[in-house]
Structure 1
Amino acid sequence: MSQLALNATYPVGQLTPSIVLYEPSFEGWLSAVFYVYEHKLQNEPALQLCAQDCYVPSLIAQVVSVDNNEDNAERVLVRLNKLLGRSGMRNILWGFLSEKDNIGTILFQVIKYAIDYPNRQVMQDLGHLEVLELVQTVKSVGREKHRMEAFVRFEHTTEDIYFARVAPDFNVLPLIGEHFRQRYQDQHWAIYDLVRGYGIYYDKSQSTPSRPAALQTITELDDAVLRNPASIHSDDEQRYQKFWQGYFTNVNIKERKNARLHKQYLPQRYWKYLSEKQVLPNAEHLQKRR
């Protein structure tokens, strides 16, 4: 019998679970929080909340898996909004989107602290280890969000859609969608997260003069396109990329090159998705004589 099967045989109510598994979504985590308080497990010292897709089965741990329940999740969300306010809930959501292995437990300990001490400014208490870790995580997610908004490069396709590939450290697509929705209301565009296998799509035909269209989630794209987006480039895109690469080559001043500072402001892991960083075959002919 497998380890997972052994864990699953524990009847709920007979043994106190030390690990509560939730479906890998924010609603799933909220449902797990409801389960913990419903079964009075919140004071268990070894309690962990773990996403089902991150859990490594163990022969020792006592595990219970909680299904997503929209009503229970909504009740928890309403309570947390009252306790933490808008900025506190922003920290909770951004922390969840970090997808750290232990983030479910960290978030639970933070909200437990808020529930136990409702009159405290919980998010300002950096002496609390879980609060400190959450605040640091949120800062990291915020930096990634900012970089994605700056470094996304759209490529015009033969279907008149501006398409961009990204591979962020954190799941920031839900955070950057509104930024691009407000700025590119007159175009069809899509951003696809290669790491997580989903993207967001904006269809301008569904927008009105007073309201931009809602973002759609896309999950199925041709692997060949993801590996080689140049295969669907429009003629204009090919010309624009050459112009932009030529401009980037010409404005570079070799004598003032500072590779260390350049990588600090533009980390190298983003370069493969930036058209200006692709090597031009005739780059030496485009470089200005000095």
Structure 2
Amino acid sequence: MSADAMLEPLGNVAYVHDGTTEGLLSAIFQAYALHEQPEDFSSKAGLQPRLGQSVRYIETDAALASRVKAGIVRKAGRDAWDAVLHASLSDDPSAGVVVYRFVRHVMARPAAANAGLIRNMAHPIAGPVARLNRSVMNERHLMLQFLRFEHFENGIWFAKCNPKANVVPLLMGWFAGRFNTERFVIYDEVHQVAGIYDGANWYIAQTDEVHLPQHSDEEAAMQAAWKGFYDAMAISARYHPELRRQFIPKRLWRNIVELHDEVADGNAKSALPAVAIPSGRRL
């Protein structure tokens, strides 16, 4: 799209970004700069234009995204920014528009009027952001509980997950703080995102496959011991499969070692993705 076309305001328009939080914030900045009110914000993968709708492809600009973040914090506080960040990681197709409407709302009001707004679940603008925030944080909590790491012969710890939101960026700081001397990878097979910690720093990489070495010598024994402990602690008289599915969603079972035998398709040990660590870095 030409620079002249970018300067021409459009009516029925969808903004398409790279699917990251920075990409969404860059798109919101451009909506202000172009005096447009897009009806949709979407990643390229999720784009479904409406009939007669124009599409703008927005380049991610970290500086512009930072300015939008600073404006949200200034106008609505840190809690509001955290909610926006988390909402932007949701898989809900409306997440981009929900965040955009909230940003427009708080930017148009004095900061004092926005105090506590993000906690008002009944508010027509803030409520949807708050609900997305809660949903994403609930998914993060599930991953914190049920991630299972496996040890490989080069010292890498690896965990695979299948969350309903792009929560790996919200997991890395927590695990890096607790395993600060260990190198590990958390791979999200749904969003094709790898969180990589090299023993000092962590970063996020987009990748559709992960190449791993062989398991360490003791890994099979440790998995068997953990499974044995899990089975030994079970109380048959209190077996309640419906309650277990309520607390441990069945979609997670294939990545939980103690539940491999109960995966419905009989695939007790699904093959690990063959993690090519991107960016030329080796772990």
- Which category describes the TM-score, using the shorter chain as reference length? 0.7 to 0.9
- Aligned position for 2:277: none
What's the CA shift for 1:22?
2.5
Q: Is the 8 A contact 1:95 1:141 kept in 2?
A: yes
What is the deviation of 1:224? Answer: 7.1
SS at structure 2 position matched to 1:54: coil
Of structures 1 and 2, the larger Rg is shown by 1
- Tell me if the contact between 1:51 and 1:104 (Cα under 8 Å) persists in the aligned partners: no
Asked whether 1:169 is paired with 2:159, we answer: no
Trace 1:252-263 onto structure 2 (pairs within 5 A).
252-263=234-245
Residues 1:248 and 2:225 aligned together: no
- CA 1:233/1:258 → structure 2, altered by over 3 Å: closer, same or farther? same
TM-score (norm 1): 0.80
Tell me the equivalent position of 1:80: 72
| Inter-CA distance 177–30: structure 2 relative to 1 (3 Å threshold) | same
| Cα distance in structure 1, aligned partners of 2:47 and 2:218 | 47
Is the counterpart of residue 113 in structure 1 residue 100 in structure 2?
Answer: no
Q: In structure 1, what residue type is equivalent to 2:105? A: Y
8 Å Cα contact 1:10/1:63 also seen in 2: no
Corresponding residue of 1:184: 179
Tell me, yes or no, if structure 1 residue 143 matches structure 2 residue 138.
yes
Q: Using the alignment, how far apart are the partners of 1:69 and 1:18 within structure 2?
A: 20
1:160 & 1:199 partners in 2: Cα distance?
17
Q: In structure 2, how many angstroms separate the alpha carbons of the residues matched to 1:174 and 1:220? A: 14
Distance 1:37 1:191, change over 3 A: same
Q: TM-score scaled by structure 2?
A: 0.82
Q: Spell out, residue by residue over 1:26-51, the C-alpha distance to the aligned partner (whole angstroms, 9 max, x if none).
A: 22212211211122224xxx733333
How far did residue 221 of structure 1 move?
7.3
Query: In structure 1, what is the equivalent of residue 203 of structure 2?
Result: 216
Q: How far apart are 1:145 and its partner, in Å?
A: 0.6
Query: Quick check: 186-195 or 46-55, which moved more?
Result: 46-55
Return 5+ residue gaps in structure 2 as ranges.
Answer: 263-283
Residues 108 and 234 of structure 1: CA distance in aligned 2, closer, same or farther (over 3 Å): same
Task: Compute the displacement of 1:172 (Å).
Answer: 0.5
Higher mean C-alpha displacement, 125-134 vs 239-248: 125-134
CA shift for structure 1 position 200: 1.4
Q: Which residue of the partner structure matches residue 81 of structure 2? A: 89
C-alpha deviation, 1:243, in angstroms: 1.2
Q: Determine if contact 1:12/1:64 at 8 Å carries over to the other structure.
A: no
> What secondary structure sits across from 2:261 in the alignment?
coil
* Deviant stretches of 4+, over 4 Å: 9-12, 218-225
Alpha-carbon offset, residue 111 of structure 1: 1.1
Query: Which has the larger share of helix?
Result: 1
Q: In the TM superposition, what are the counterparts of 1:58-73 in structure 2 within 5 Å?
A: 58-73=50-65
Q: How many matched pairs?
A: 257
1:278 aligns with 2:265: no
1:117 to 1:161, Cα distance in 2 relative to 1, 3 A: same
Q: One-letter code of the match for 2:67?
A: R
